Amino acid sequence: MKAILKYGLVAMCALAANAFAQDFCNTAAHSGSKVEVSTNNVGSFSNGIGYELWNEGGNGGSATFYDDGSFNCQMTGAKDYLCRAGLSFNSDKTHTELGHMKADFKLVKNNLSGIQYSYIGIYGWTREPLVEWYIVDNTGSDYMPGDWVAQGSSAKKHGVYDIDGAKYTVYEGDRTSYSIDGDNKYFKQYFSVRTSKRDCGTIDITAHFKKWEELGMKMGKMHEAKILGEAGNSEGAKAKGEYDFPYAKVYIESDTPSSSSVAPEVSSSSTTVIQEVRPMTTGSSMSLVFDAQGKFLTSFETENDVDLTTAIKARFHSGIFLVKQGGNVRSISVK
């Protein structure tokens, strides 16, 4: 059915149409609760956003993580420093079972020095097989990572491919070193390295997974997918400076928009809004939940609208929320 809603909902629904097209490359700023970390640490916020700081040797930097997903990385003399935030899975599901993954990020670099190698982009691990993987869109050094990233007995440069609207060089290798399963472990390494740097944009993570698998680079059960700032120097604790991510969100969206989700239609008169409501079809759907200002709050996997409304009410009690399912956005009022 269709309902004609009065002006009180117009501004909110207009925002719903624009909230996910916001220009975070220009307007992003840290917000929400924060955690300051100065030693190796793995943690998460109540909304499910995971974070980690890792320094070889346990010193050489700190980090501040915010519950909106943004974070700040401070290197004060690091040998190998990794600072990241995003989705933690540690699951028995593959990326195809979890859904289509993307990430939005904005990067600001300040006062960098002593950085011999650096990876800035998306980072994670899988198990069965044990794989450390990178999607590199920027770096803290003067150059992007090159052929040297492919190491070990399986070292291979697969070539340059068009992935997600840009050119990336794909590499494969292996190491025996630190891992999520302990030290001195053998694991594979996969890299997609962008041929040109960028400081802001959206990365289609799943597009890289699919290309790797086409090339025979097997992915396993997902442990994490996080936006990463890494820097190091093989000669010692020399890497210094700041990677600031005032906007950083890793999220899952459906390849096929749910038939229950219909984007709001805003009247050209700016006095009414038409929103079509349909019953949700059988089968679970991943819903991304934002407040009325477009700030990401959480995500739920639910079977129908009743379950989704109940889940939102249990966590946030009441209010007007923007819900993104697949490529569509709509509003839900919880009383």
Q: List CB contacts of 178: < 8 A, sequence separation 6 or more.
A: 56, 185
Cα-based distances in Å from 129 to 23, 125, 190: 38, 9, 12
Q: Which of 52, 132, 172, 253 is catalytic?
A: 132
Distance of CA 306 to the CA centre of its chain: 28
Q: Catalytic: 132?
A: yes
Pairwise CA distance, residues 260 & 160, whole Å: 39
97, 103, 101, 171: which is closest to 134 by C-alpha?
A: 171
Pairwise CA distance, residues 282 & 261, whole Å: 13
Q: Are strands 131-138 and 182-194 parallel, antiparallel or unpaired?
A: parallel
Q: What are phi and psi of 90, to 5 degrees?
A: 45, 50
Do 239 and 77 contact (CB within 8 A), yes or no? yes
Do 240 and 114 contact (CB within 8 A), yes or no? yes
104, 120, 153, 92: which is closest to 253 by C-alpha?
A: 104
Classify residue 285 by its DSSP letter: E
Pairwise CA distance, residues 127 & 130, whole Å: 4
Kindly report, as residue ranges, where domains of CATH 2.60.120.180 are found in the chain.
31-253
Give the bridge partners for 179, in sequence order.
182
pLDDT tens for the chain, residues 1 to 335: 333 333 333 333 343 434 444 478 988 899 999 999 999 999 999 888 999 999 987 778 999 999 999 999 999 999 999 999 999 998 899 999 999 999 999 999 999 999 999 999 999 999 999 999 999 999 999 999 999 999 999 999 999 999 999 999 999 999 999 999 999 999 999 999 999 999 999 999 999 999 999 999 999 999 999 999 999 999 999 999 999 999 999 999 853 333 222 222 222 332 222 222 233 333 456 788 877 656 677 777 777 777 788 878 777 777 777 888 766 777 787 77
Amino acid 319: pLDDT: 74
Peptide bond into 246 cis (omega under 30): no
Amino acid letter, 23: D
Do 222 and 89 contact (CB within 8 A), yes or no? yes
Q: What are phi and psi of 123, to 5 degrees?
A: -140, 150
DSSP-based three-state secondary structure for 234: coil
Helices (H) and strands (E) in the chain, counts: 5, 23
Cα-based distances in Å from 306 to 2, 135, 309: 19, 38, 5
- Token pair 């008169």 is found at 269
Q: Which of 52, 172, 224, 230 is catalytic?
A: 230
Q: Is it true that domain 31-253 has CATH number 2.60.120.180?
A: yes
